[in-house]
């Protein structure tokens, strides 16, 4: 999870988030190179006293500064298109869950079982937190999911627009009343991954966190039986 001194992305917990971080670094490197080149040209011109008074046009330099940005855009577009296709929905998910945003808590439904599992997930007040809890991030019921399995998530809302967001998974889905939004992801390591509502939804917008707990398949089945 993020801390006050963390200036980079959180460590990824899904292949999609890994690709997003790689794409960010790739694009940032290109932007830094462009910025340094422009600064160098500006400083060179600033301290250059030579003037060509007969210069009217420069066909060569115009061709260069037209073609060069085109190649740069291609280097940015190709990995971007790859990630775009990775974001496409999966046709054979192992598990589907439905998330409903309320003012101000989340409710979840596991729809693939004979007896549908439903529960609400509320923020634990900081007065009830123990020393090992995270203030304003812990909830009473976690979303337990199996790792290394394709998960489909359906997000909607009961009142106003919410946004179900878990940064380490690279997932951010708006929940709109009367509409189902769909996405999929795969968690490649065990652990607890924290998120929050990312759409301003009212007075307690900051008090509806999300915890996704990734476990192996056997532990997930045991958890389902207990529920």
pLDDT in 10s for each residue of the chain, 227 residues: 667 777 788 888 998 899 999 999 999 999 999 999 999 989 998 888 887 777 778 888 889 889 999 999 998 999 898 888 887 766 788 899 999 999 999 999 998 888 888 999 999 887 777 777 788 888 988 999 999 999 999 999 999 999 999 999 989 999 999 999 998 899 999 999 999 999 999 898 989 999 999 999 999 988 888 87
Report the predicted TM-score, pTM, of the whole model to 2 decimal places: 0.81
Q: Which CATH number fits domain 95-226: 2.60.40.420, 3.40.50.800, 3.90.470.20, 3.90.1010.10?
A: 2.60.40.420
Can you give the pLDDT at residue 165? 93
HEC assignment per residue over the chain: CCCCCCCCCCCCCCHHHHHHHHHHHHHHHHHHHHHHHHHHHHHHHHCCCCCCCCCCCCHHHHHHHHHHHHHHHHHHHHHHHHHHHHCCCCCCCCEEEEEEEECCEEEEEECCCCCCEEEEECECCCCCCCCCCCCCCCECCCEEEECCCEEEEEEEECCCCEEEEEHHHCEEEEECECCCEEEEEECCCCEEEEEEECCCCCCCHHHCEEEEEEECHHHHHHHHHHC
């Amino acid at each position: 999870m993020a801390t006050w001194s963390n200036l980079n992305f959180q460590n990824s917990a899904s292949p999609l988030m890994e690709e997003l971080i790689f794409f960010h670094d790739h694009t940032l490197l290109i932007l830094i190179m462009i910025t340094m080149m422009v600064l160098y040209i500006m400083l060179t011109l600033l301290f250059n006293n030579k003037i060509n008074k007969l210069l009217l046009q420069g066909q060569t330099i115009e061709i260069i500064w037209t073609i060069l940005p085109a190649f740069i855009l291609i280097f940015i577009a190709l990995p971007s298109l790859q990630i775009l296709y990775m974001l496409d929905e999966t046709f054979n998910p192992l598990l589907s869950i439905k998330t409903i945003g309320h003012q101000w808590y989340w409710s979840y439904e596991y729809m693939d079982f004979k007896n549908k599992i439903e529960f609400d997930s509320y923020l634990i007040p900081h007065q009830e937190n123990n020393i090992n809890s995270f203030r304003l991030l812990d909830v009473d019921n976690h979303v337990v999911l199996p790792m290394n399995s394709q998960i489909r998530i359906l997000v909607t809302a009961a009142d106003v627009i919410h946004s179900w967001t878990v940064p380490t998974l690279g997932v951010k889905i708006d929940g709109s009343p009367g509409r189902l939004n769909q996405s999929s992801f795969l968690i490649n390591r065990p652990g607890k991954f924290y998120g929050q509502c990312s759409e301003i939804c009212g007075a307690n917008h900051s008090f509806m966190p999300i915890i996704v707990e990734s476990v192996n398949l056997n532990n997930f089945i045991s958890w389902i039986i207990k529920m």
